[in-house]
Chain A
Amino acid sequence: MSAPHVLIRIGGEGGEGIISTGDLLSRAASRQGLCIMTYRTYPAEIKGGLAQFQMKLASDPIRSIGLRFQHLMAFNQEALDAFHDGMLKGGTIYYDPAECPDLSKVSGEIERVPIPLTDLAKEKGGSIRGKNMVALGFLSRLASVDLETVAGLVREKFKRKGEKVLDSNLASLNAGYDLGDQTIDGRGVKLTPKSQRGQSIVISGNEATMLGALAAGCKYMAGYPITPASSILEFATRHLPRFGGTVVQAEDEISAMASCIGASFVGKKAMTATSGPGLMLKGELITLASTQELPVVIIDVQRGGPSTGLPTKQEQSDLKFAIYGTAGEAPKIVVAPATVEDCFYLTAKAFSLAEEYQMPVIVLSDTNLAVRTETVPEFDVSRVDVAERLRPTPEQMKDYKRYEDTPTGVSPIIDPGTPGGLHIAPGLEHDEYGTPCYTGVNHTKMNAKRFRKLETLSKRAEEWMADWAPVEGAELCIIGWGSTKGAIQEACQMAAERGIRVSHFHPRIVAPLPEAQIREALSKVKKVIVVEENFTGQFSHFLKAKFKFDPVEVLRSMGVPITPDEVLEEIVKVHETLHPAKPQGASYAHR
């Protein structure tokens, strides 16, 4: 199917160190030159509940993690029962016999290997709290990660906790590694690091997002705690002040948005981060920024909705609200990162777009990107082009109009504190000076001016706006957006191996759409498949309205990322409808 890789899942009680075991193992693997991708699920509950961490390790860059795995490390009975589903044939369950008395629910060709996590931690490390270190040692051996690399990370992590704690953890780690030496034999996976790949980092989408904001020169961040966006606020709190900025945990989502507008009004690059329910609360103020023509960046880390919905699960269901979800007609830009790397560069781009076009830019990230970590090439700050606001010419200063009607729609802006540019930023409809004016002629003119900025942008047709992978002779094209990209790419590759050629179009900017590029993609194929993780086909509706065609919709609202296998299955179905030689494959259902 694809290049050599190993898929490991770790499951246990929240608070047992499941996540840190996974983090340390993946970071050690990355330091050794391997590529990793991880995915984790948190219980929605405050304490306790099951936590799982899944990781994929490979020699080559990883596009998607899927839901299947070969190795499960179960810390307790509940995790064993809940998480063994999805194991590949010939997989192995490693379980702690002290915590997992009953293996009766496990059936099929699955090997079961007892790993005495509790006993070894007690015996060698002197504390059962070292269970996760035993597991880490064992799994390191399984994935052929050097003991010294992982021990180095453990030292970094525990150095501040004192020698005693560190020694205990290292003893447990060694015990787990030694046990691996004795038990693993042929089950171990030998992955060869690729040299010459350049320096890599392991990072989550939310961290990458905030780093992108720093690279763009963000100087104000206000947010309100909300899953799964809170870690952006937390990351900002730890770093933005040092970079000369200000971070406020606001009393509510509305206040956060309002204060960003205030910061932007006085000339600072400002952002907020939220999830679906918060985005809705910010709606009125987003229209204010749009009509006042103030730059502001809103990160929306999508989760399962509506309402409180599935707060810790994956879904791409805020698209329509992001594009259309305002009373009145308020132009805004919507971009959607497809990878963790995109979270950095596209967030930085969002700031440039906001400054350049003087309007709100919504970044539609999602739970999958937010919480997964991934090996990515070290971010190159010099690749970020930082845009600034349009300033008036001396000629324009003679009769300064804050909302001057220009050919691009963009008007020169002067920040408070600067002599000569006094003006009002109104929420009321206004003329070019900002003076309230309610005539129909003026309203139509100012609407045209504001929306002209989107036309100016959509005509740019630049490379960053979409990933377009045309395949010569392809009859099918898949259009997706956001974090489904990796699964679609893998599915296209698997289809190619079966002789089905499929092109793939994945816009980074979803509003305004890169029209010319999409028309080109549509013109070359017989059938288009739109893949998205929501129930109603939000992006598909948007495309259909704009381009008048009839795509096959592949929609998932399962709370987990779509897998390459699922996409492949749909490709095959659609291919068969185009080539009905095999009568049994003549129909397709798209959900």
Chain B
Amino acid sequence: MPTAEKLKPNDYKTGREPIWCPGCGDFGALNAFYQALSELEVEPHMLALFSGIGCSSRLPYFVNGYCHHGVHGRALPAAMGAKLSNPELTVVVTGGDGDGFSIGTGHVPHIVRRNPDITYIMLDNEIYGLTKGQIAPTSPVGMTTSSTPLGSLEDPLNPVALLIACNASFVARGFSGDPKGLKDLFVKAISHPGFAFVDVLSPCPTFNMDMTYQSLRPKVSPLPEDHDSSDRVAAFARALEPVVYTGVFYHRRESIPYEKRHASLRAKQVEYGGQPDLAALIRKFR
């Protein structure tokens, strides 16, 4: 659909009202996402948006595009199958820290190894919100929740450090209290030709009083201007600092997306095996 004029952020709304609690950080992320889509002039019919289960995984219901709300923790492989099957699509995955780093963690290093051109937006609230306030893989140790009444016994995962360690080709962190900065990160991530990860600090005002806009603001700081995002070791070191940096931690310039590797493989098989001819292949069994 050739758009006569550029779509505005509001044109990406579906008319379905978000079901999130008032004050939820996901609103800020959603608005930044609408703006990024508008800025990049993504045509809605070329957008394929995937999610799993959780509050943030409801996001696709509110975005004009072809959307897929799947099962818990499996949005990454579903999105990969879609991107490989139609590389023309802009493929984005949204979901929470429980979806991505608890039930679905197993898929993370593997999608990173393959590096399809997919953007993964994690709305990280350090809590299970949809199931009403249990401990999450990113919650700090000692945190009191409905499933840890005397405090959590487990150390949290560091999503940014994990993705850099896995060698993702684009790793960033944003804050839903900074919609402008977040929009810029989404634009960069979607434009990156490979697997791009954006960890979005997105407070849950209902179940996580330990991570609020107020508590985050003093901790959050943009990455220093001299941070070299092509330096993976430096990026990893920044990810381990107590300061909660936002911005692009790591961005590998040489990035061959998985779907391009598959296209090369197809060409190579035709080169060696000739044009596809099923009857001829069957005759080989004579």
Query: Which of A's residues lie within 8 Å of B, judged by CB?
Result: 30-31, 199-203, 207, 211, 214-215, 219-220, 222, 239, 241-244, 246, 248, 250-252, 254-256, 258-268, 270, 284-285, 288, 292, 378-379, 381, 415-428, 435-436
Contact = CB atoms under 8 A, between A and B. Distances in A.
Contact of B71 (A207, A265, A285, A417): A285
Chain A at the B interface: SS class: mixed
A563 to B, nearest CB: 27
B143 interface: no
Given A424-B68, A424-B69, A417 B286 contact: no
A322 B166 CA distance: 37
B277 to A, nearest CB: 9
A203 B279 CA distance: 14
14 contacts: A214-B281, A215-B278, A241-B269, A248-B80, A255-B110, A256-B77, A261-B70, A261-B81, A266-B81, A267-B86, A285-B70, A379-B282, A424-B60, A424-B61
Given A201-B286, A211-B281, A252-B106, A288 B86 contact: no
A284 B69 CA distance: 14
Contacts of B266: 241-242, 244
B36 interface: no
B74 interface: yes
Contacts of B69: 424-428
Q: Give the most central of B61, B76, B82: most A CB within 10 Å.
A: B82
A422 B64 contact: yes
Contacts of B276: 242-244
Contacts of B71: 258, 284-285, 288, 427
Contacts of A270: 81, 85
Interface in B75-119: 76-86, 88-89, 106-107, 110
Contacts of A215: 278
Interface of B: 1, 16, 43-46, 48, 50, 53, 60-61, 64-71, 74, 76-86, 88-89, 106-107, 110, 262, 265-266, 269-270, 273-274, 276, 278-279, 281-283, 285-286
Given A244-B276, A255-B74, A418-B45, A378 B89 contact: no
B211 to A, nearest CB: 27
A473 to B, nearest CB: 41
B85 A417 contact: no
A347 B276 CA distance: 20
Given A259-B78, A262-B81, A424-B69, A378 B61 contact: no
B278 A211 contact: yes
Given A251-B107, A284-B71, A381-B282, A266 B89 contact: yes
Contacts of B270: 242
Given A254-B74, A423-B67, A378 B262 contact: no
A259 B80 contact: yes
Contact of B48 (A220, A266, A421): A266
B87 to A, nearest CB: 10
Given A203-B285, A284-B71, A220 B81 contact: yes
A261 B82 CA distance: 8
Contacts of B265: 241
Contacts of B76: 258
Nearest to B282: A379
A241 B267 CA distance: 8
Q: Give the most central of A248, A418, A423: most B CB within 10 Å.
A: A248
A268 to B, nearest CB: 4
A279 B185 CA distance: 40
Nearest to B108: A251
Nearest to B272: A242
B269 A242 contact: yes
A201 B280 CA distance: 12
A422 B85 contact: no
Contacts of B89: 266, 416-417
Given A199-B286, A241-B269, A266-B48, A259 B77 contact: yes
Contacts of A219: 85
Contact of B278 (A292, A381, A417): A381
A201 B282 contact: yes
B82 A265 contact: yes
A436 B60 CA distance: 12
A188 to B, nearest CB: 25
A246 B262 contact: yes
Q: Give the 9 A-B CB pairs with smallest separation, nearest first.
A: A262-B81, A259-B81, A416-B66, A419-B1, A201-B285, A262-B78, A242-B269, A258-B77, A263-B81
A29 to B, nearest CB: 13
B85 A267 contact: yes
B113 to A, nearest CB: 9
A426 B70 CA distance: 6
Contact of A261 (B46, B53, B60, B78): B78
A422 B65 contact: yes
A267 B74 CA distance: 19
Contacts of A378: 282-283, 285-286
Contact of B86 (A417, A427, A436): A417
Given A259-B84, A264-B81, A424-B61, 10 more contacts: A239-B281, A242-B269, A246-B85, A258-B70, A258-B78, A262-B78, A415-B86, A416-B65, A417-B46, A421-B45
Nearest to A436: B61
A266 B77 contact: no
Nearest to A239: B281
A31 B286 contact: yes
Contacts of A381: 278-279, 282
Contacts of A203: 285
A291 to B, nearest CB: 10
A285 B74 contact: yes
Given A262-B80, A262-B81, A267-B85, A419 B269 contact: no
Nearest to A200: B286
A262 B85 contact: yes
A263 B281 CA distance: 25
Contacts of A264: 81
Contacts of A211: 278, 281-282
Contacts of A436: 61
Contacts of A435: 16, 61
B279 to A, nearest CB: 6
B181 to A, nearest CB: 29
B138 to A, nearest CB: 22
A256 B283 CA distance: 30
B263 to A, nearest CB: 9
A263 B85 CA distance: 5
Nearest to A379: B282
B84 A248 contact: yes
A420 B45 CA distance: 7
B45 A419 contact: yes
